Amino acid sequence: MKYFYIQTLVLILHIILSSAQEGPNASPVSAIFAFGDSVIDSGNNNFLSSLAKSNYWPYGVDFIQGPTGRFCNGNTVIDLLGEKLAMPYLPAFANPMAVGTRIMNGVNYASAGAGILDATGRHWGDRFSLSQQVLNFERTLDDIRSSMGARNMSIYLQKSIAFMSFGSNDYINNYLMPSLYDSSLKYKPPEFANFLLNRYARQILALYNVGLRKFFIAGIPPIGCIPNQRATAQSGRCADSVNQMLGTFNEGLRTLVLQLNANHPTGIFVYFNSYAVMGDILNNPTNYGFSVIDRACCGLGQITCLPSTMPCPNRNEYLFWDAYHTTEAANAILAHRAFTGPSSDCYPINFQQLAFI
């Protein structure tokens, strides 16, 4: 409780100082660096994400200036969190225009089909796995370092946030595909979860060791309830067996965050309980304005809503945009809970508090 009050006072003080000294649109963070998969993919980071860019006006107009989501009908969670901090949309790492001053506010390394494991999503072709995304981040640092001194670089990284969203693909596009991957034959679900967490921890520490100090790490949502898994279950209901697999991973990720905070006091690591937040929406859809939670706006089986497909007209009433991804309306709720949520959503602090530390 004492920690909460201290963080609240720090938050209020920073808001006052920012407003007085830098103006109403000033951001409290230097940059946001996003690591993940198609949930926050900005396009350009692999062939699939570039192909899937939405052509439904006003979305998909510009990789740099417009909403970056390529697997939803507009803004992704990271877009919306950036807006709340007066940050510009993050350019994709592989975008040729992502150079110079365009990368100073951050970069999006997320790649469709990517996972914690290098093998995850290989059937989709080119993609940047977590380990490659970390290497890509180090390449970005080389570019930024050339324009500022070592001391300024250290301060810059300390005021930056790493947003990380991994794990879903390691199940959907690996463990749950025994015809293509042998992971389910080699590991029982708890063993696979621990295998993922060990690999995840190494890469988080790699980012910490190059200077990042603020980490916002999302757990895996109940992917057994996405339209793709409902169809696989052939019952129209959530695939409970899939959701049950995620317990060990999410509990382990929260424990990892506790350990990282204890062992690295100069950093702050936050766990976002996306499973509980999405579960709340699924259990109480009308409270959030949703009337359809078991079907996609673009049909049950589609990977994404391609330009040749006519989406549903009432998108704000749909939880899912396609067979795998949430709509912008859902992303807005997730972003709000990440930004201002209590400790049951974000532990030990929320995204807003993390930004102002």
As annotated, the active-site residues are 38, 322, 325
How large is the angle between the packed helices 274-283 and 328-340, nearest 10 degrees?
A: 130
Give 342-346 contacts, CB < 8 A, sequence gap 24+.
343/4, 344/273, 344/276, 345/272, 345/273, 345/276, 345/277, 346/270, 346/271, 346/272, 346/273
**What is the Cα–Cα distance from 289 to 316, expressed in whole angstroms?**
8
Which residue from 49, 125, 155 is spatially nearest to 93, judged by alpha carbons? 49
Token readout for 69 is: 């989501």
With left for phi above 0 and alpha for psi between -120 and 50, is residue 310 left, alpha or beta? beta
Q: Are the C-beta atoms of 341 and 277 separated by less than 8 Å?
A: yes
**Hey, what amino acid is at 172?**
I
344: amino acid identity, one letter: S
Structure tokens at 202: 């190494």
- For residues 77 and 334, is the Cβ–Cβ distance under 8 A? yes
